[in-house]
Amino acid sequence: MPVVSITPAAAAKAIALLAKSPSPGDALRVRVVDGGCSGMRYELVFDGAIGADDEQSEQHGLRVVVDRESAGHLEGTTVDFVDDLNESGFKIENPRAQTTCGCGESFNVA
């Protein structure tokens, strides 16, 4: 089972964005970086530089990559894409997140 699960809607949106991207990357990298008011934030980027320690999976036609350092914070996470009257964008559900900021852009784990 992959560290991060991608829904069909998220995969379809990422594939569409990848087709328009000038980035040479061919995989969606999901990672955690320092920042935000809760200490850590998510980053979704297209990447072609896949490291030997990266976890890779193929989901709904999309190659998904997670680095070893981020994997511990992302275990069991689901990435979805929502497009309705209230919001449009990627939505990340992380069962390991203990606290999140008010805007929902950053999180922290215990």
Tell me the pLDDT tens digit for each residue of 52-71: 999 999 999 999 999 999 99
pLDDT at 21 over 70: yes
Please provide the DSSP assignment of the chain as one string.
--SEEE-HHHHHHHHHHHHH------EEEEEEEE-STTSEEEEEEEE----TT-EEEEETTEEEEE-HHHHHHHTTEEEEEEESSS-EEEEEE-TT--EE-TTSSEEE--
- Predicted TM-score (pTM) of this structure: 0.88
Number of domains in the chain: 1
* Domain ranges, residue 59: 4-108
CATH number at residue 49: 2.60.300.12
What Cα–Cα distance (Å) separates residue 7 from each residue in 13, 53, 92? 10, 24, 11
pLDDT at 105: 66
Res 37: pLDDT: 67
